Structure 1
């Protein structure tokens, strides 16, 4: 179970203010490209699940991670979602994006694809996937007061979202600390009301 604090920033100026405020605590930046898939007959979405391939296009190394997310709940700026992920060769990830049928050949070598076959396709060899599209995300990561704070600039075709994320086993405590920082420095924010994937599928910024 992944548990995260999720707070939305209203605009690019607020985002820049926060980036400047946190700059002494910056540890890394990720250039992410997220790609999403469903079963051809909605086998994943009908059970509140989604398959994602994420490329980390960071210099000097590109990484690729396949991830299954399910049963996401977002309440009062705290997200809880079942998450299972595994790193794969970036070239295989690119092949899956270009041709989702490539997933079939990974059943024996990839734990997550094997799980998809067993749990979402009833063990059938006739599993099939469809590419839903994706979006890019620039993620700056900061280590502050024992928290790993991620500040995202997410580029959709229909607009840009600015968001704070912080994974924590004590989300309420982490949220309180982050909110204190924002309030003390006059940084506007609100609780996030939808996941990035939900926003992507809706085609509109909330």
Structure 2
């Protein structure tokens, strides 16, 4: 179970203010490209599951991660979602993005894709996949007061979302610290009401 605090920042000006305030605590920046897939007959979405291939386009450490998320709940700025992920060869990932039907070739060699087959497709079902598209995300990572803070600038075709994410086993405590910091520095915010994937699928910012 992945538990994260998710707080929305209203605009680029506020985001730049946060980047400046958090600069002493900066660890790294990731250029991510997220791509999503479903079964050809909606087998995953029908069970509230999401299959994603994420590329980290970092010059010094390029990598590709495939993940399966399911049963997401987002309430009062705290997200809880079942998540499993593993790293795969970036070249294989690119081939699957170009031709989603190749995802079935990973069954057996990939724990994630073997789970997808076993959990979402019946024995007699044809194993087919379609691409849903995706979006890019610029993520700055900070270590602040014992928390790993991720500040995201997510670029959709219909607009840009600015959001703080913080994974924590004590989400209410983490949320309180972050809110106090934002208030002290006059940064407007609100609790996130939808995941990035849900926003992407809706075609508009919340």
- Judge same fold: TM > 0.5, yes or no: yes
Please give the range of the TM-score, normalised by the shorter of the 2 chains: over 0.9
| Counterpart for residue 159 of structure 2 | 159
The alpha-carbon distance between structure 1 residues 153 and 118, as it changes in their structure 2 partners (threshold 3 A), is same
1:146 aligned onto 2:140: no
Question: Conserved in 2, the CA contact under 8 Å of 1:118 and 1:124?
Answer: no
Q: How does 1:153-192 map to 2 (within 5 A)?
A: 153-192=153-192
Size of the alignment, in residue pairs?
206
Find the residue that maps to 2:113 and give its secondary structure. helix
Distance 1:83 1:124, change over 3 A: farther
Separation in 2, partners of 1:115, 1:187: 42
Distance in 2 between residues matched to 1:158 and 1:2, nearest whole Å: 28
1:54 aligns with 2:58: no
Deviation string 1:95-121 (CA, Å, 9 cap, x unpaired) is 000001111111110011001100000
Q: 1:115 to 1:124 in 2, by over 3 A?
A: farther
CA distance in structure 2 between the aligned counterparts of 1:124 and 1:164, rounded to whole angstroms:
43
Once superposed, which parts of structure 1, at least 4 consecutive aligned residues long, lie more than 6 Å away?
A: none
Query: 1:124 Cα shift?
Result: 4.4
RMSD: 0.8
* Residue 133 (structure 1) aligned with residue 124 (structure 2): no
Equivalent residue, structure 1, for 2:120:
120
Task: Give unpaired runs (5+ residues) of structure 1.
Answer: none
Contact 1:32–1:55 (CA<8 Å) still a contact in 2? yes
1:157-196 superposed Cα distances (whole Å, 9 cap, x missing partner): 0000000000000000000000010000101000000000
Q: Does 1:97 align with 2:97?
A: yes
Distance (whole Å) between structure 2 residues aligned to residue 57 and residue 30 of structure 1: 7
1:70 corresponds in structure 2 to 70
Match of 1:110 in 2: 110
Q: TM-score, normalised by structure 2?
A: 0.99
CA contact (8 A) 1:64 1:90 kept: yes
Q: Counterpart in 2 of 1:45?
A: 45
Cα distance between partner residues in 1 of 2:104 and 2:47: 20
Give the whole-Å Cα distance in 1 for the aligned partners of 2:95 and 2:62. Answer: 15
**Aligned match of 1:197:** 197
Task: Report if aligned partners of 1:51, 1:66 keep a CA contact under 8 Å in 2.
Answer: yes
Question: Which runs of 5 or more residues in structure 2 are unaligned?
Answer: none
Q: 1:145 to 1:75 in 2, by over 3 A?
A: same
Deviation at 1:86, TM superposition (A): 0.5
Cα offsets for 1:24-81 (capped at 9, x unmatched): 0000000000000000000000100010000000012210000000000000000000
Per-residue deviation, residues 132-181 of structure 1 (Å, max 9, x unmatched): 00000000000000000000000000000000000000000000000010
